[in-house]
Amino acid sequence: MNIDTSSGRFADADVQALAVAVFKDERTDEGFLKDLDAATGGLVRSVIETEELKGKEGETAYLHLAASGEGAKAKRLLLVGVGERADYRAAQVSQFAGAAVRALRARNVKTVGLVPRLADADAALVSSSAVEGAIIGLFEPDKYRTIDKEERTIERLVVVIEGADDEALRRGVERGRVVGESVNFTRDLANEPGAYMTPTIMAERAQEIANEFGLEIDVLDQARIEEEGMGAFLSVARGSDQPPKLMVLKYMPDGKKSVEDGENYLALVGKGITFDTGGISIKPSENMELMKYDMTGGATVLGVMRAIAQLKPPIPILGVVPSTENMPSGKATKPGDVVRAMTGKTIEVINTDAEGRLILADAVAYAKKLGATQVIDMATLTGAVSIALGDVNTGILGTDQKLIDEVIESGREVGEKFWQLPLDKEYTKQIKSDIADIKNVGGRKAGTITAAAFIKEFADGISWAHLDIAGTAWGDEAKPSRSKGPTGVAVRSLINFIERASRKAAETNG
């Protein structure tokens, strides 16, 4: 898709269709809609006065404009409801753009002008949000379909913000493209069947982004994982014929050699279970096919690193992805086995299906060994989080309230919701073992919290937050602004988090 910008009048945009945001209960006898109405020969007014379109979020009306030669150059107009004007910000622009391109692609439109209308806001932010939303909106999970596949494409997109600074618009488009493509990169990995996304293949994908965008990479194979003493990680990999991999990606700002003493060093750590059968504690077969997405946390880390390598923030970032299958076999770990984590802690494995926390324990410890002072881990960790929060909010827990608040705010700005669950020390009692230091499950109560309490045992001495994306990483239904399937949740929030942290670091450094 070719992406352009225009700071001229919407009516002059040389496209087949214009998509325009319309606020809830917006008037047509003044302001922007009055102009739009005039350019469309009164069509806008008739649609809104008859309440065919009230401006509620996700609503659309598709209009055929007269080919009069006057008014707008475009011959089609899509009105897209975006809700309350007072709540309309970057996150809503992104959803507007997604809904617009999906609706127009369905009508086989090839060239689209997006009119997000946030004339007073930062033009770079608005154009970035529009482009990111459009790219995310066009993703389809039908890669392996040969019939009834979505073959239609939008060839040209023009972001129209009247009177905006052209340079800011272009900067925004570049950022939006990077962010949108990185979110879709994560979604594509998450969508792959287990047979096509083994730990080895995932590590190859990591190597590819490192080569393409310039990141340092180190992939630890089974022998090196053994040398590091990662008994918790290895206990999960035992049952599989596929060798485990530990991916380590490093982003360093230009000209920087190493992280200085006392400097904050953020590591993103993501669960990369390329298929979770449950192991010997095998899962029921119903819906087990979905467990191909149990590597989404890891894919999220790779997506963020892919974006960061291009956006080049001024702070160093580490990405760590432990990856393995969780399979039953004659070699698999058995319930009751005791394993020794990299830190020396002993773990009684009560349930081999609580494997995510086992691989994260060693990955978090390894991030610390590499110098991380701050860790955000992300994982499709517990079914319990969907019971608690559904597919609306990602669960967030941790030991550093400032960090948690900052992630929540970063999410709010991009339209991703996080809801904090408590992590009082009392919950740790539930994972005390009779024969080892801790056990890997804490009973039926507070499943998402006890899983986090387990990881906390390996995150001492650092600032730490944990995202449980099991409920939000997969959409069972399509939305106006995106397809069903992998959502790429948290990629945008974390990119925004890093950009916000960069601005803060710049402020304090002078």
| Nearest in space to 202 (alpha carbons), one of 186, 179, 182, 215 | 186
Please enumerate in sequence order all residues whose Cβ is within 8 A of that of 206, keeping only pairs 6 or more positions apart, or say none.
217, 219, 247, 249, 302, 321
276 forms part of the interface with Zn ion (CB under 5 A): yes
Which is the catalytic residue, given 85, 171, 283, 340?
Answer: 283
- Which of Mn ion, Zn ion, ligand BES, none is residue 140 near (CB under 5 to 8 Å by kind)? none
- Which of Zn ion, ligand BES, Mn ion, none is residue 470 near (CB under 5 to 8 Å by kind)? ligand BES
116 forms part of the interface with Zn ion (CB under 5 A): no
> Which residue in the block uniquely carries the two structure tokens 């230009």?
254
How many beta carbons lie within 10 A of that of residue 287, not counting itself?
8
Cβ burial, residue 335 (10 Å; 0-12/13-18/19+) = middle
- Which of ligand BES, Mn ion, Zn ion, none is residue 396 near (CB under 5 to 8 Å by kind)? none
Binding-site residue total for ligand BES (CB under 6 A)? 15
Q: Which two tokens stand for residue 375?
A: 């860790």
Cβ closest to ligand BES, residue 269 vs residue 381 = 381
383 forms part of the interface with ligand BES (CB under 6 A): yes
468 forms part of the interface with Mn ion (CB under 5 A): no
Residue in 382, 399, 483, 496 binding ligand BES, rule: CB under 6 A: 382
276 forms part of the interface with Mn ion (CB under 5 A): yes
Q: Which two tokens stand for residue 2?
A: 């070719």
Which is the catalytic residue, given 357, 439, 482, 492?
Answer: 357
Active-site residue flag, 504: no
Cα within 13 Å of Cα(257), Cβ side: 1
3-state DSSP: the chain helix, strand, coil percent, rounded to 5? 40, 20, 40
> Which residue in the block uniquely carries the two structure tokens 């009069």?
68
Q: Which two tokens stand for residue 392?
A: 């609306």
Overall residue count recorded for the chain in this entry? 510
Helix ranges (H only) for 294-428 are: 296-311, 356-369, 384-389, 401-414
59 forms part of the interface with Zn ion (CB under 5 A): no
Using the rule CB under 6 A, give the single segment among 5-13, 59-67, 332-340, 346-354 that binds ligand BES: 346-354
Using the rule CB under 5 A, give the single segment among 165-173, 347-355, 384-392, 424-432 that binds Mn ion: 347-355
Write down the least CB distance from residue 377 to ligand BES, Å. Answer: 14
Using the rule CB under 5 A, give the single segment among 41-49, 183-191, 211-219, 274-282 that binds Mn ion: 274-282
In the shown chain, the binding pattern of residues 430 to 459 toward ligand BES, with x for contact by CB under 6 A and - for none, equals -----------x-----x------------
270 forms part of the interface with Zn ion (CB under 5 A): no
Write down the least CB distance from residue 487 to ligand BES, Å. Answer: 13
**Residues 236, 360 contacting (CB under 8 angstroms):** no
Exposure string for 290-328, b = 16+ CB within 10 A, e = fewer: ebbbbbbbbbbbbbbbbbbbbbebebbbbbbbbbbbbbb
Active-site residue flag, 283: yes
Q: Which residues bind ligand BES (CB under 6 A)?
A: 276, 294, 351, 353-356, 380-384, 441, 447, 470
Q: Which residues bind Zn ion (CB under 5 A)?
A: 273, 276, 294, 356
